[in-house]
Amino acid sequence: MIITRGLIKKYGRVMALQGLDLEVPEGSVYGFIGQNGAGKTTTLRILAGLLIPEEGRAEVAGRDVLRDPRGIREVVGYMPDFFGVYDDLRVGEYLLFYAAAYGIRGEVARKLRDDLLELVELGHKRDAFVDTLSRGMQQRLCLARSLIHDPQVLLLDEPASGLDPLARVEMREILRELCRMGKTIIISSHILSELADLCTHVGMIREGRLLRQGPLSDMLAGDRVRKFILRCNGPVEAAVAIIEGWPGAGILSKAVNQVEFRLSGDPGDIAALLREIVGSEAQVVHFAQTEQSLEDTFIQLAREVNGA
C-alpha cells in the first residue's frame, strides 16, 4: 500500500532523511516510532505530497507522490501534529467547508458531516463554535476533517499529542474502528506505550534512518535481548553478583528480594545462568521471562547503531 525507496530530505545542512525505505501493508496500522527530530513528520509530509525529497521515490496506493500529486490527495487523509481551526466557524460548518474543498456539497455533504461527527463522538457539538472545544475534541474534529473524502490511507502525526488519559483512550477507540473499516493507517509517535496495543506493524526511525520494521509480533519476539525477573526467599546479593559477571547480562533494577535483568543469548545461555544462580546461596523462588516492550526494542536497536 505504501512504499518508499531511498528517501533523502535535507533542510539546509541538516539531513532529515537518509535513504529511508518503508513498506506499509494494506489494511495495517503502522506505528512509526522515533524520538522528536528523527524524521517522522518529514516522512509523513512527503507521503502527503506536501514536501519534495531530494532523492528517492514514494508510492501510496499505487500512486507516485511526485508524479501524481492530485491522485495522492484523493487517497490520503493527513492529520498534522499542529493544526489550525477556524475559530469563527461552528463544528458542522467546519466540516462542510472542507467537504466543499473536495467538491462535496448539498445533502451528500450534510449526511457525510453528520456521519463523521458520530464516528468521532462529536455529534452533540455540531452547532458549537470550534474554539469552545477542548483539546481532545479539536483533535477528533481534525481527524474527522482528514476523513471527509473517504481516503484509503490515513497519515496521523502524533494524534494523541497533548491529550489527557481519557482523551487518549477515546482516540484509540476511534482508530480501532477506522482499522475495522479497512483503512491503512500510519501513526507517528515518540510515546511508545501508546502504540503497543494498537498497531499491527511497526517501523523504528532514528536520525533519518530506519532501524527496523515489520509485524509487531515479530518486533517483540526477537531473540536479541530477553528480560527476566528473579525473586528469592531472602536477599538477592548472591544472584546479583553472578548476573553482573555473566557475559551479555545487565541489571535493570533490584530490590531486597527481587532483581530484574537483561540477557542476550540462546536458551542454553539462559539455562546455564539459572543453574549457576540456583547452585549459589541464592534461594530462588521465582524465575520468569517478561514480555519485551516496544521501548525495550527501540532502545536496544539504538544502542546497536551507536556501537556500530
Q: What pLDDT does 289 receive?
A: 84
CATH number at residue 262: 3.30.70.250
Q: What pLDDT does 239 receive?
A: 94
Q: What pLDDT does 302 receive?
A: 65
* Residue 10: inside a domain: yes
Residue-wise pLDDT tens digits, 5-30: 999 999 999 999 999 999 999 999 99
Domain boundary among 185, 219, 253: 219
Per-residue pLDDT band at 186 (split at 50, 70, 90): very high
Residue 154 sits in the same domain as residue 42 = yes
Per-residue pLDDT band at 267 (split at 50, 70, 90): confident
Q: Residue 63: which residues within 8 A CB-CB, separation 6 or more? A: 71, 72, 75
Write down the residue that cell numbers 503497543 correspond to: 196
CATH number at residue 115: 3.40.50.300
Which structural domain range is residue 269 located in? 226-291
Residue 249 sits in the same domain as residue 160 = no
* Residue 265: inside a domain: yes
Residue 180 sits in the same domain as residue 198 = yes
* Residue 304: inside a domain: no
* Residue 297: inside a domain: no
Residue 116 sits in the same domain as residue 210 = yes
Between 50 and 224, the higher pLDDT residue: 50
* Residue 307: inside a domain: no
User: Does 308 have pLDDT greater than 50?
Assistant: no
Between 192 and 101, the higher pLDDT residue: 101
Percent of the chain topping pLDDT 70 = 90
Cα dist from 139 to 121, 168, 193, whole Å: 12, 10, 19
* Residue 97: inside a domain: yes
Residue 94 φ/ψ, nearest 5 degrees: -60, -45
pTM above 0.85, yes or no: no
Residue 280 sits in the same domain as residue 158 = no
Per-residue pLDDT band at 136 (split at 50, 70, 90): confident
Residue 110 sits in the same domain as residue 131 = yes
Mean pLDDT for the chain overall: 88
Residue 33 sits in the same domain as residue 66 = yes
Would you call 70 exposed, middle or buried from its count of C-beta atoms within 10 A (0-12, 13-18, 19+)?
exposed
Per-residue pLDDT band at 266 (split at 50, 70, 90): confident
Considering its fold, how many domains does the chain have in total? Answer: 2
Cα dist from 8 to 15, 83, 217, 307, whole Å: 8, 25, 29, 24
Residue 198 sits in the same domain as residue 236 = no
Per-residue pLDDT band at 223 (split at 50, 70, 90): very low
Domain boundary among 189, 219, 249: 219
